[in-house]
A = this chain, B = another copy of it.
C-alpha cells in the first residue's frame, strides 16, 4: 500500500520512515522547506531518502511572516534545562506547522492514491507544541473524514503517528532495532557544522540516546 511519510531529516521522522517501510508500505517521503533556519535538516532528509532509496518530494513553502524562532533569526532560540521542556509553548512553535504539513501530505496522498500519512510526532519527550498531542490527531482525522474526497467516499486518509506515546529513549531503541542510520539525521535547531547540544531539540535527542544506552554518532560542539 502506498503511503506518504513526512520527513524533516531529524531523528523522529527518520525512525518513522523506517517503521513505515517495515510495515511494507511503498513510501513517498515528503519534506517541506518552510524557510527553517536549520536548513541543514533538508540535507539530512536528502541523505536519508538516498539511503533508503525512496521517492523524495521536496516542497518549498516559505512561511512568510510567520512568527517563530525557527524561522526568524532575530528571535533567539531558548537555552534551558531538559527537565523544563514540555510545560509551555516555546518560541520555537511554528504556528499551525503540523496542521499545514499534514494538510499538504493529505492532498499529496489523495493525488497519488496513498492511503496513509505517517508523521513522527511525539507527545512525551516533546517541546509542548499543541499539534503533537493525541487529541489533535483525533480531531484532524475527523476533519479529513468530512473534508476530503476519500473521506466522503468512506476511505479517509489515515494519519499514522507510531511514536506518539513513546519516550525518546524508546524511539532511539526502536531506531536501533530497525538499523536506522542515526549518523545521517540532524536534529539541532541551530544547524551549524556540529550540533549545539543545548537547544531543546539537542537536549531531547541526547536524553534519548542516554536512556537507550547508546552514543549519538552525530558530532557535537565541545
Contact = CB atoms under 8 A, between A and B. Distances in A.
Interface stretch (A8-16, A18-26, A93-101, A204-212): A93-101
User: Which secondary structure dominates chain A's binding surface?
Assistant: helix
The residue in A60, A64, A151 that gathers the most chain B C-beta atoms within 10 A of its C-beta is A64
Interface residues of A, number: 46
A43 interface: no
A81 interface: no
Contacts of A103: 96, 99-100, 103
A65 B151 CA distance: 20
17 contacts: A63-B104, A65-B111, A66-B108, A89-B149, A95-B110, A96-B104, A96-B107, A98-B147, A99-B148, A100-B103, A100-B104, A100-B107, A130-B148, A130-B149, A133-B147, A136-B143, A139-B143
